[in-house]
Chain A
Amino acid sequence: MYVAVKGGEKAIDAAHQLLAEARRGDVSVPEISIRQIEEQLSLAVDRVMNEGSLYDRGFASLAIKQSRGDLIEAIFLVRAARTTLARFGYAEPLDTAKMQTRRRISAAFKDLPGGQILGPTFDYTHRLLEEVMPLEAAQLADQLVVENMPKVLGLLGDEGLIEPALPSATTVGDITQDPPSFPMPRDERLQSLARGDEGFLLSLAYSSQRGFGRTHPFAGEIRLGEIEVSFVPEELGFEIVIGEITVTECEMINQFKGSADVPPQFTRGYGLTFGHCERKAMSVALVDRALRSAELGEEVGSPVQDEEFVISHSDNVQATGFVEHLKLPHYVDFQSELILLRNLRKEKAAE
């Protein structure tokens, strides 16, 4: 029987109608609101903002709803929205020491100025599947917020035990405006990692912990909190605060054996993410350090140390696009392969 190959338009419309129905699910169950997603699935929102490279909780929540909770699809939606936004300049660099810190832990020192603050964390919960109890307003815990908490790595820096964190000598790059080229400077690498897929970076970071490009990490400091974003409009010529964002920062302390010119000292791996994305921030810090292997004169041979491999494959919007493009029609190419293969087989049979 001849299968109709025309009528794609009708088929697409019908498919999208089915998608809308599948998205809604059983209509006897109340529909979730964007605000509910924003408030109650806040870590999914944070992930979508990070990999979507856009700090907008509302957009991210809407994207999660629209994508039926498929976070890579939601990230894709946010990226697509982001690209339409006008750019009017670059914010001033954040000074994370000025963060209103809600969580701050160091695995390197038992106690230190500012103390250890656990804050809102899954850490030390027992993963026993149980009903989430409704929370009464009266039960709300006091949230400890600390301002101007000293940076842990700064304490080591005072003794010269860790490499200094120097500002970049040149203008900071922008991977959204300029196509990537290799070798890539660290600022651009960190930008790529910031929007990179959490799962991919997590696995790479894990591989380095298991010996494929070892980096000897200690979680020097992980902090979570709110920080003001400032901007200098050209017409004003001075800094104004344009908003406040939540960020997670991870500074890893890594070993370094030293070289002919530099005595042994600790080195840094750095990760910064929007919202509360601790797993991602830690993974970025580990991968950042691994990608510095060549710069620090270390043996390079593992996937996590290969800049081109890591950076070229970390973007899940790119990756999902290309992997899923295999669903597109390839009739013409396939037909030419069929012809070729049949000919080759015929020649073989004739021999």
Chain B
Amino acid sequence: MSGPVYNFAYLNEQTKRMIRRAILKAVAIPGYQVPFAAREMPMPLGWGTGGVQVTAACLTQDDILKVIDQGADDTTNAVSIRKFFVKTAGIATTDVTDDATIIQTRHRIPETPLNENQILVYQVPIPEPLRFLEPRETETRKMHALEEYGVMHVKLYEDIARFGEIATAYDYPALVNDRYVFDPSPIPKFDNPKLNNSAALQLFGAGREKRIYAIPPHTKVKSLDFEDFPFSLPKWDKPCAICGSQTSYLDEIVMDDQGGRMFVCSDTDHCRKTQALK
């Protein structure tokens, strides 16, 4: 028995049009979660099907695709998604951030600043920033509509009262265009400043939860904080052990069971570039 024949980038054109309409609405209302009729994709829900659908809807034959997971091109799921688009769309791919026209990412924003010809597509597990304060969608949509974000500020305040700082290290909520509190997906808060005023279009796809949202180029994105407890970034004691970068996000590699650790760039393209400059 032979299998079905698939369209360019897997999805049929009607589905892509539906997704593009959701994307356009998302771009028009920065930070607002647009419901869309997410489809089943040939990978499990929760493994980037939202991002894959957004990428599929944006891809043209001339695009050059980069896929990263945890900042790296060689991570298993990134390899799998890249292979999927090579197989179903036959497009060119790259590891080099500067060369890519579409970058699909999970959990990181590239260290290299993006430009206006690029689209950054995020894979989103839980699009709703208020979800863990209020589990019901009927309630959270009302809260967004009424701009009722007090509960989020109370949560951040309680963190400070208990720990002396805001105890959120990733998935750090931010305010988009002075209107919607949004969930930047589980990127480390280290990456939050890169969300602000980015030259690239940033699209967020949540397949299982059937939501798309966007940050258009050069949009204000402000991480939530307090005047006396401003948003702050984590620091490492040492630079990257491979390239010596002091400005990039570092992964901890366990070397042995005697407590040996090594810290290296999570963004493999950035690490390669910095080494080449040395």
Q: Chain A residues in contact with chain B, CB under 8 A?
A: 109-113, 118, 123-131, 150, 154-155, 158-159, 210-212, 214, 257, 264, 302
B residues less than 8 Å from A158 (CB atoms): 257, 259
Nearest CB of chain A from residue B161's CB, rounded to whole Å? 12
List B101-148 residues whose CB lies under 8 Å from chain A: 126, 131-132, 134-135
| Cβ-defined contact, B254 with A124, below 8 A | no
> Taking chain B's interface residues, is the majority helix, strand, or loop, or is none over half, making it mixed?
loop
Are B255 and A113 interface neighbours, CB within 8 A?
A: yes
CB distance from A73 to the nearest CB of B (A): 27
Evaluate contact between A131 and B3: CB separation under 8 angstroms.
yes
| B-side interface residues, number (CB < 8 Å) | 35
Are A128's CB and B3's CB within 8 A? yes
Closest B residue to A213 by CB, please name it: B135
By a beta-carbon cutoff of 8 Å, the part of chain B in contact with chain A is 1-4, 6, 41-44, 70, 72, 76-77, 79-80, 83-84, 87, 126, 131-132, 134-135, 162-163, 167, 251-257, 259, 266
Could you write out 19 A-B pairs with CB less than 8 Å apart?
A109-B253, A109-B254, A110-B70, A110-B253, A111-B253, A113-B255, A118-B76, A123-B76, A126-B42, A126-B43, A126-B80, A126-B83, A126-B87, A128-B42, A131-B2, A154-B257, A155-B254, A211-B135, A257-B163
**In the bound complex, how far is the Cα of B42 from the Cα of A203, in angstroms?**
21
CB distance from B186 to the nearest CB of A (A): 11
A130 to B2, CA, bound (A): 7
- The listed residue (B2, B134, B167) touching A257 by CB distance below 8 A is B167
The 4 residue pairs across chains A and B that have the minimum distance between CB atoms: A211-B135, A127-B42, A124-B80, A112-B254
Closest A-chain residue to B251, C-beta based?
Answer: A110
Partner of B253, one of A112, A127, A131: A112
Q: Which residues of A contact B83 (CB under 8 A)?
A: 126
Nearest residue, chain B, Cβ from A124: B80
> Which residue from A125, A159, A210, A264 sits with its C-beta under 8 Å from B163?
A264
A150–B256 Cα gap in the complex (Å)? Answer: 9
Report how far A214 CA is from B130 CA in the complex, Å: 13
Contact B3 A130 (CB under 8 A): yes
Which chain A residues border B259 with CB–CB below 8 Å? 158-159
Residues A212 and B135 in contact, CB atoms below 8 Å apart? yes
B257 adjacent to A155 (CB under 8 Å): yes
Given contacts A128-B6, A210-B126, A302-B135, could you give 11 more A-B pairs where the C-beta distance is less than 8 Å? Answer: A111-B253, A113-B255, A124-B76, A126-B42, A126-B80, A127-B44, A128-B3, A130-B3, A155-B254, A211-B132, A257-B163
- Which residues on A sit within 8 Å (CB–CB) of B135? 210-212, 302
